[in-house]
Structure 1
Amino acid sequence: MALNKKGSRHIIVDGIEYRWRIRRKPTYMQGLCWTPMTYAVEAANADQPGTTLVVTTGQTHPSNWLVLEAGPIRPAHVAAGIREAQIQGWDPTQAGSPFQLDRSVGFIPQP
């Protein structure tokens, strides 16, 4: 799975360039604030597509339908997620299924 270049942002973590993106529209579950927002990360300069990192955050999607306030995902959050995923075994150069990183501790779904 490769990320669309349009709408993605670049970040350099420990000398490696990555591209990350938040889904523009929330999923049905995210729209109702039943599940937290996710974003995807991949190596930006890889010759061949590798494993995509999917990070589940602890906050609601900014475009949720309940108009609940959502905090921003800052580059520091993305960098911390990348480092944590690498510690857990994510290798962005290896092909394979998306690597899931759950950072949603403290998320409270809305009834």
Structure 2
Amino acid sequence: MALGHEGARRIVVDGTVYRWRLRRRPTYSQALCWSPCTYAVEHADSPGTTLVVTTEQPHLSNWLGGVGNPVLPSDVANAIASALRQGWVPTRAGSAFHLDQSVGFSTLP
């Protein structure tokens, strides 16, 4: 599963270049604050396994006015480092690697 180039942002972590993308519009479930915001990361030069990060906050464009914070590049860098420690190999082909950071997510806005 490869990320589209449009809307993907570049980030460098420990000398390795990655691309990450957050959906501009929330999914139906995210729009109703039933599920948290997610974003995807892949190796920029040799995309293989995609990292899917589930945050602990609602998507900023949710329909219920749930308050969240923007996903910052520092958040993405921390998630990449955490996933690498947990065994994510971004250049190896395979199913998506899921990193769940939604411990504090509440379905109530």
TM over 0.5: yes
Q: For 1:89-100, list aligned pairs within 5 A.
A: 89-100=87-98
Q: Which amino acid aligns with 1:103?
A: Q
SS where residue 6 of structure 1 aligns? Answer: coil
> Is 1:25 aligned to 2:20, yes or no?
no
CA RMSD of aligned residues (A): 1.0
Q: Which amino acid aligns with 2:21?
A: R
Gaps of 5+ in 2: none
SS where residue 2 of structure 1 aligns? Answer: coil
**Do 1:32 and 1:110's aligned partners in 2 also have CA atoms closer than 8 Å?**
no
Deviation, 1:93, is 0.4
1:6 corresponds in structure 2 to: 6
1:79 corresponds in structure 2 to: 77
Deviation, 1:69, is 2.4
In 1, Cα distance between equivalents of 2:61 and 2:67: 9
1:66 corresponds in structure 2 to: 64
In 2, Cα distance between equivalents of 1:37 and 1:4: 18
Aligned-residue identity in percent: 61
Gaps of 5+ in 1: none
Q: How many residues align?
A: 109
Once the two structures are superposed, residues 57-110 of structure 1 have per-residue CA deviations (whole angstroms, 9 ceiling, x without a partner) of: 001001101122220111110000000001110000000000000001111012
1:104 corresponds in structure 2 to: 102
* Deviating 4+ runs (over 3 angstroms): none
